[in-house]
Amino acid sequence: MSTIGDQYRELNSAVDEEFRRNRRLHGGKIHCARGCTACCHQVFSITEVEAASISRLAKTLSPQMRQTLQANASAYRPLREELLKQHGYIRAWGHLPKPDMRLACPALIDGACAIYDERPVTCRKVGIPLYHPEQPDRIFACELNFSPGESYEDPKLVTIQSGIAEQWTRLQSEFDAQGGRRADEPLSVADALLDDEPRTSPG
pTM: 0.90
Per-residue pLDDT band at 66 (split at 50, 70, 90): very high
Q: What is the pLDDT of residue 152?
A: 78
- The alpha carbon dihedral of 115, 120, 123, 128 has a sign of positive
**Above 70 in pLDDT, residue 195?**
yes
> Under a CB-based contact definition with an 8 Å cutoff, are residues 124 and 39 in contact?
no
Mean pLDDT, rounded, for 61-81: 96
Q: What is the pLDDT of residue 95?
A: 67
**Above 90 in pLDDT, residue 107?**
yes
CA nearest to 141, candidates 128, 159, 124: 128
Per-residue pLDDT band at 86 (split at 50, 70, 90): confident
Mean pLDDT, rounded, for 119-134: 93
Mean pLDDT, rounded, for 82-91: 80
CA nearest to 203, candidates 15, 55, 17, 13: 55
Per-residue pLDDT band at 55 (split at 50, 70, 90): very high
Per-residue pLDDT band at 98 (split at 50, 70, 90): confident
Per-residue pLDDT band at 141 (split at 50, 70, 90): confident
**Above 90 in pLDDT, residue 140?**
no
